[in-house]
Chain A
């Protein structure tokens, strides 16, 4: 990354009682980046976000915002604003008053506050309701006001704590685009926390996958999905098939592995060392029937199928191993393979990934 560093997290640890929420976590977030912390609940992502906001402090390690150590600085003195999961709009204030609140606390002039408040409400298409109170708004409207309120004080960094989780599916999709555009337009660094991998892949410049209080992998969405570095990441992001394999030989970017389905050569990764390993192959990378040309091909039997509309998921059995595959229903007829049918399956060696066990 060539950007300046907006956030530096340095060897941060945190205990809650005997529970270790974060184990010496370090990473940087670049200027103007849309950075997502992705992970299951309890992985420490929310604790990290709260540390950036100032609501928690690390037991060990330090946090720098734009090169300045902030570990000891209370939340109200940090130029960081948060969009809370529950939005936390003040119920006794109008939308206008909510948006103006942060500006008033920063000591802005009255006229400037009015102008900025109007501008922010305009930006999220909520001007018409400026004098209403949050109790009268729908979930999506609240979300937009919460965004306007957090962006109004011109924060250096905007923190978003699962802001889409309370919205219904259609609205969530629309809000993703809106958030992405807002980030691009304002140029503010967004730090986004979610457990929804689809959201993370869709919106982020970079993703940090967190698990068990540690950073498992940091990378672009494509890197995270296509080149997971360990079993946790491959499992948590997207669906996949795992096979226990043995690496027989690994040299010059090429590894030879022995699997229950036979011995193949696949591209090697850093994790592939001689000995026991795990092979990950995603369901959509396994081709069925006439699509299964080239690469490694095997004979299999369809054990089960789940018709999903655009796709059909197949459960396959081959050589004593159960694999899941998904196949796009490219035309109205002839795509479905019947349960119990024998079928040829295949995948390209480059689609499979060898992971350390």
Chain B
């Protein structure tokens, strides 16, 4: 019978949120829908077709770009996560760390600088040093800018973890290495995992640096897609895009599930 004056709700916010989510997902849906379009011109719908998926999967240049991207991302993720893990352990668990604040800033530096500046700087450095191997250039640059993304979740997890566990382990006659391997690492694993996932994602997604450093044979997936977009939108591009959206969805859900399991006691 009576209107409730719930002061914690604002009228209209629900509708706004609905519009927000439609706006967030509609563009992706458009890519997916257009990927099934038989017509060569992306914008004109003539009928349903899976042809573009077939041609995408047969596209050798695409597969090469994917291979390059995954190779670079996997190695960069491994490097970045190891570097970040060591740095986090030293910064959070180390005693009498000199330059603690400075070290943390240095690890996070890639977050504070526009990526285009880093990309250009790397380009100049590699050309001065005379580094020729395209893959190595990519891996080096990617490792550097992925490190803070791996660092932040690990650091957060480590900081949130009570010292008691490590002290209990030491009390039960475990050495430093055993304590790390059997107590610390399993407990911070969700942080390490989300850090690695984030690093992988950032590396796979990178366009600016990869484009700047790209040379023949080291075209990454985003750089290849950029060249496709430049040469005109095609339904095949939509098919590739849909496959990538699908892959992201699976990856994101897997990451969420692992992270969730990690937070449960």
Judged by a CB distance under 8 angstroms, whether A4 is at the interface is no
The reply to whether the CB of A60 lies closer than 8 angstroms to some CB of chain B is yes
B6 CB contacts on chain A under 8 angstroms:
55
Q: Do A58 and B5 have beta carbons less than 8 Å apart?
A: no
- CB atoms of B7 and A58 under 8 A apart: no
Contact A74 B5 (CB under 8 A): yes
10 pairs of A and B residues whose beta carbons are closest in the complex = A74-B5, A57-B2, A57-B4, A71-B2, A54-B5, A72-B2, A75-B7, A75-B5, A72-B3, A55-B7
Alpha-carbon distance A75/B5, docked complex (angstroms): 8
Which of A55, A57, A59, A75 makes the CB contact (< 8 A) with B3? A57
13 pairs of residues in contact across A and B, judged by CB atoms under 8 Å: A55-B5, A55-B7, A56-B4, A57-B2, A57-B3, A58-B2, A59-B1, A59-B2, A60-B1, A72-B3, A74-B5, A75-B5, A75-B7
Kindly report which residue of chain B lies nearest to residue A60, judged by CB atoms.
B1
CA distance A72 to B4 in the complex (A): 8
Q: A71–B7 Cα gap in the complex (Å)? A: 15
Q: Mark B1-20, 1 if CB is under 8 A from A, else 0.
A: 11111110000000000000
A195 smallest CB distance to B (angstroms): 25
Residues of the B chain whose Cβ atoms lie less than 8 Å from the Cβ of A74: 5, 7
Chain B interfacial positions (CB closer than 8 Å to A)? 1-7
Q: List chain B residues, Cβ under 8 A from A56.
A: 4
Least CB separation from B3: chain A residue = A72
Write the nearest CB–CB distance from B2 to chain A, whole angstroms: 4
* Chain A hits for B2, CB < 8 A: 57-59, 71-72
* Min CB–CB distance B11 → chain A (angstroms): 13
Q: Which residues of B contact A60 (CB under 8 A)?
A: 1
Q: Which of A30-73 contact B (CB under 8 A)?
A: 54-60, 71-72
Q: Which secondary structure dominates chain B's binding surface?
A: loop
Query: SS class of chain A's interface: helix, strand, loop or mixed?
Result: loop
Per-residue B-contact encoding for A63-92, CB less than 8 Å = 1, 0 else: 000000001101100000000000000000
Closest to A55 in B: B7
How many residue pairs link A and B with beta carbons under 8 A? The number is 20
Residues of A within 8 Å of B4, CB to CB, are 56-57
A115 to chain B, nearest CB (A): 29
A57: chain B residues at CB < 8 Å are 2-5
How many whole Å from A88's CB to the nearest CB in chain B? 12
A84 to B: closest C-beta gap in Å: 13
Which residue on chain A has the smallest CB distance to residue B2? A57
User: What is the distance, in angstroms, from A69's C-beta to the closest C-beta of chain B?
Assistant: 11
Interface centre among B2, B4, B7 (most CB of A within 10 A): B2
Q: Which chain B residue lies CB-closest to A56? A: B4
Which residues of A lie under 8 Å from residue B7 when comparing CB positions?
55, 74-75
Question: Once bound together, how far apart are the Cα atoms of A54 and B6, in whole Å?
Answer: 9
Closest-by-CB residue of B relative to A58 is B2
The docked-state distance in angstroms from the alpha carbon of A163 to that of B7 is: 22
Chain B residues lying within 8 Å of A75, measured Cβ to Cβ, are: 5, 7
Cα distance, A276 to B13, chains bound together (Å): 59
Chain B residues contacting A72 (CB-CB under 8 Å) are 2-3
Complex: how many Å from CA A26 to CA B229? 72
Q: Which residues of B contact A71 (CB under 8 A)?
A: 2
Q: Give Cα distance in the complex from A54 to B4, angstroms.
A: 9
Given A58-B2, A59-B2, 16 extra CB contacts under 8 A: A54-B5, A55-B5, A55-B6, A57-B2, A57-B3, A57-B4, A57-B5, A59-B1, A60-B1, A71-B2, A72-B2, A72-B3, A74-B5, A74-B7, A75-B5, A75-B7
Nearest to B4 among chain A residues (CB) is A57
Q: How far is the CA of A44 from the CA of B6 in the complex (A)?
A: 18
Bound-state Cα–Cα, A74 to B5, Å: 6
Residue of A nearest to B8 (CB): A55
A54 to B5 alpha-carbon distance, docked (Å): 7
Complex CA distance for A57 and B4, rounded to whole angstroms: 6
Instruction: Tell me, in angstroms, the Cα distance from A93 to B5 when the chains sit together.
Output: 26
Bound form: Cα–Cα A60–B7 in Å: 20
Closest CB of chain A to B71's CB: distance in Å?
Answer: 51
**Please, which residue of chain B has its CB at the minimum distance from the CB of A71?**
B2
Cα-based distance from A71 to B3 in the complex (angstroms): 9
| Residues of B contacting A55 in the complex (Cβ-Cβ under 8 angstroms) | 5-7
How far apart sit A74 and B2, CA to CA, in the bound complex (Å)? 12
